[in-house]
Structure 1
Amino acid sequence: MTAPTTATDVNQPSLEHAPQTGRRLSLPVLMLVIAGALALTSIVRLITGADGITNVSQMSTALQLAVPIGLAGLGGLWAERAGVVNIGLEGMMILGTWFGAWAGFQWGPWTGVLVGLIGGCLGGLLHAIVTITFNVNHIVSGVAINILALGATRYLAPLAFEGHQGGSAKQSPAVESLGHFTVPGLSDWLTDLNAKGWFFVSDIAGLLGGLVTDVSWLTLIAVALIPATWWILWRTPFGLRLRSCGENPVAAESLGVNVYKYKYLAVIISGGLAGLGGVFLSIVANPFYLEGQTSGRGYIGLAAMIFGNWMPGGLAIGAGLFGYTDSLNLRGGSTNVHALLLLGALLLIIGAVWLAIRKKYVQAAVTLVVGALVFAWYAGTNEVPSQVVAATPYVVTLVVLALSAQRLRMPKANGMPYRKGQGK
């Protein structure tokens, strides 16, 4: 008679040996790729004279814009690792912006953070009830939550904010700041080094300077949530059981895992993280709630999660990329985007060479033609239209997802309906 097997013991092989579509980059290789991209960006900066693409202010703004995208993406990761597709991240962010600002202007910013997080959790709970208990299609439920959140906040805003100083039907009164910090000495040294304009070294200084200059305490919390999520989901029995619900819930149930409980927890946490991203928008990025404040960042967070292959580290890189392109709207957008056309052309040409080496000649030819067209656009103009600058984050989202589609592997049971006892 064999000894009983725990859920942790049996689920481990199914997760560790799940089939992959493509190879996962090791950390050293990933660091080399990032260093190569930064070196290429430095070359473009020297050629074009667009120093703004890697200065400290640009990187600091990019970090601030990446945080809500990253938090929304983390929320999507928690839900989808448990097998629940969460298209409702946008709506949960909207709830976070409204509840955070509503509580923040009355009882202080940290209370606003807590209440905004709870507001997002309520959206997650609703999504969990509809999809897990009643087995409604996950996409339909998520879209409904997005519409419901927008309608609810439009209804509540005039009731809560009108009559208060600075408040209106579409805007809350100002919320007190959470505070920012700058690492003394190190920030000034990196800023001075960045101003030298040296190849590669100044660009690294700009990147690191953005991480230690004028940083919000909520940014620090958001950054810490990346490794915390990885550790919880990949290094604890709780995380293993939660991920087993997204890979094979029937097998998980047969081993004693309460699948409903783990799915509910994951989706509620997902809503809380998205709500925290909304709080960042209404308390840190802007010290007030404003209708339409999320501007589709919930969807971009979902794209960052997919780009990151449902892994926290890849998600962080994706959020940083989208935050950086979004920051171009705020700081010398036309000049910087024009310079990045050259960077895009060089990357496409390098990609074409790589595809040719791998004997994918048709794809290489198409990539080379697109690269040539982008270079012609750069060489034939001195700036790009403002409409192109505004659309850059969304265009980059589509391009990155298209290029990374071949290596993606979502959890096996993601989005699939589940009923307790269905494997019996």
Structure 2
Amino acid sequence: MTSNPAAAPLTVAVPPRRRKLPGWASGMIWVALAVAVLTTASYLTGVPQLTSSGTTQTAVVLALPILLAGLGGLWSERAGVVNIGLEGMMIFGTWGAAYGGYYWGPWAGLACAAAFGALGGLVHAIATVTFGVNHIVSGVAMNLLGAGIAKYLSTLIFEPLSHNPRSSPTVPKFDTYSASGLSDWLQQLEQQQRVGISDVAGLLRGIVTGVSPMTMVTIALVPITFLVLWRTRFGLRLRSCGENPVAAESLGVNVYLHKYVAVIASGALAGMAGAALVLNPGQSGYLEGQTNGRGYIGLAAMIFGNWRPGGLLGGAALFGYSDGLQLSSGGKTVLALIYGAVLLLAVLVIVQLVRRKWLAASVGFVAAGGLYAVYWSVDSLPTEFTPYLPHFVTLIVLTVASQRLRPPAADGFIYRRGQGD
């Protein structure tokens, strides 16, 4: 008896799926690539300030408000509420930090900043969640409200003390701490000017020297945010409100409550971002206009990080580094950074060629050629240009990252209880 070939089951060979690298591993690869690019650019251009401990230390301080504002945006938008009012909540935080810090010390200033920011978040939540106001309109109103109220309170309370309606009196700051033995050893390595070794030593020394409690708290909030939002039942429910609030409600989730908690937490984090501008060493106190658009840059860092804490940390480091570089070193060093960007683009072009993505490789090649032309044609960037370097970096990064972004599905969706009925 012969078997019927037609009756045999048809099997198709399925190629094995490629295992995706975990987030922490890909993050470490990007960090190693960034250090390699900076080291190479520093050596080829003869500009050691690219990897100096002073530049890194300044970059860490300047990255803190961006990181905290980005975390605030992350909490809000993961619950489905767009929060472009981070700038206004930061302004609330700067005033609250100066008021609490002046009367009761830096820790009280940090608490007051979080409370004032949370109050701004509450106003934004009432407008968007309860009354269904367009999220963008409410955010713009919050920015205007923050600037106006802070100016009024400064004139009312700070002017009699500082004799200036635009600033507070000098506010006590957090102390700073250093790993003295490690810092001294790294300083010796940095001063030896060995290729690669001294560059890494300078970067590490900037991270472990002059660290304030504000820095420690901010860095700790990154894994805390990840654990709360991605490893707890509360976080799963909160994120479900940003993906599909109607389905979340059908499963018994109190969508309004979770949105309120998220937006108030967002405001508190933005207020702490304002405190980072007041309570860290090197700052005198509250100053009108001192946020300088950092709330928007924090929002950009969150988008660059694809609404994930790890990616947000990388984005904040990038923007803080570019800001610190132009403040501590000037136009010649920024020009050396452009050379480093050319090297990075060259690496990315090679990767795209290996993957046979011809369009992406062509765009990267043209961009690298344009940046190299700028580097070759001038000796130093004009001083009028360098203060806007973080904003240019923001535009470039968002343009490059826009192809791989995946925001929460219901981000900005005006939700009403019982819509699924």
Smaller-chain TM-score bracket: over 0.9
What's the CA shift string for 1:336-381, capped at 9, x where partnerless?
A: 1111121112222233333333333334223212212211221222
Q: Distance in 2 between matches of 1:114 and 1:78?
A: 19
Shift of 1:200: 2.3
What's the CA shift string for 1:151-177, capped at 9, x where partnerless?
A: 11111211111121x341100000111
1:415 aligns with 2:415: no
Aligned twin of 2:216: 220
Aligned twin of 1:20: none
1:245 aligns with 2:217: no
SS of residue matched to 2:160: coil
1:210 aligns with 2:206: yes
Q: Distance in 2 between matches of 1:201 and 1:251?
A: 54
Q: Distance in 2 between matches of 1:39 and 1:167?
A: 50
Aligned twin of 1:327: 324
What's the CA shift string for 1:227-246, capped at 9, x where partnerless?
A: 01001111111111111111
Aligned twin of 2:3: none
1:275 aligns with 2:262: no
Structure 1's 162 and 30: CA in aligned 2 closer, same or farther, altered over 3 A?
Answer: closer
User: 2:140 aligned to 143, 146, 156, which one?
Assistant: 143
Aligned twin of 2:188: 192
Q: Which amino acid aligns with 2:261?
A: L
SS of residue matched to 1:181: coil
Aligned twin of 1:236: 232
Structure 1's 70 and 318: CA in aligned 2 closer, same or farther, altered over 3 A?
Answer: same
Q: Distance in 2 between matches of 1:262 and 1:179?
A: 36
Shift of 1:211: 1.6
Q: Which amino acid aligns with 2:262?
A: A
Aligned twin of 2:9: none
SS of residue matched to 2:123: helix
Structure 2 stretches lacking a partner, 5+ long: 1-19
State how 1:278-297 maps to structure 2 within 5 Å: 278-284=274-280, 286-297=283-294
Shift of 1:256: 1.2
Shift of 1:121: 0.3
SS of residue matched to 2:326: coil
Q: Give the length in aligned residue pairs.
A: 401
Q: Distance in 1 between matches of 2:326 and 2:24?
A: 32
Q: Distance in 2 between matches of 1:374 and 1:352?
A: 14
Q: Distance in 2 between matches of 1:211 and 1:366?
A: 35
The alignment's C-alpha RMSD in Å is 1.4
Aligned twin of 2:131: 134
Aligned twin of 2:259: 263
TM-score under structure 1 length normalisation: 0.92
Q: Distance in 2 between matches of 1:322 and 1:251?
A: 37
Contact 2:326 2:333 in 1 (8 A): no
1:90 aligns with 2:87: yes
Shift of 1:37: 2.2
Shift of 1:198: 2.0
Identical counterparts, % of pairs: 51
Q: Which amino acid aligns with 2:376?
A: A
Q: Distance in 1 between matches of 2:204 and 2:179?
A: 11
Q: Distance in 2 between matches of 1:66 and 1:235?
A: 26
Shift of 1:186: 0.9
What's the CA shift string for 1:224-270, capped at 9, x where partnerless?
A: 00001001111111111111111111111111111100000000000
Q: Distance in 1 between matches of 2:27 and 2:112?
A: 38
State how 1:148-159 maps to structure 2 within 5 Å: 148-159=145-156
Aligned twin of 2:386: 389
Q: Distance in 2 between matches of 1:373 and 1:417?
A: 43
What's the CA shift string for 1:288-339, capped at 9, x where partnerless?
A: 1000010000000000000001000100010000000000222112121111
Aligned twin of 1:6: none
Q: Which amino acid aligns with 2:184?
A: D
SS of residue matched to 2:180: coil
Shift of 1:24: 7.2
Contact 1:70 1:301 in 2 (8 A): yes
1:405 aligns with 2:402: yes
Aligned twin of 1:364: 361
Q: Distance in 1 between matches of 2:311 and 2:22?
A: 10
Contact 1:48 1:339 in 2 (8 A): yes
Q: Distance in 1 between matches of 2:22 and 2:164?
A: 50
- Deviates further, 72-81 or 176-185: 176-185
Q: Which amino acid aligns with 1:234?
A: W
Aligned twin of 2:11: none
Contact 2:326 2:334 in 1 (8 A): no
Aligned twin of 2:345: 348
SS of residue matched to 2:328: coil
Q: Distance in 1 between matches of 2:129 and 2:249?
A: 15
Q: Distance in 2 between matches of 1:292 and 1:119?
A: 17
TM-score under structure 2 length normalisation: 0.92
SS of residue matched to 2:201: helix
Structure 1's 31 and 188: CA in aligned 2 closer, same or farther, altered over 3 A?
Answer: same
Q: Which runs of 4+ in 1 moved over 4 A?
A: none
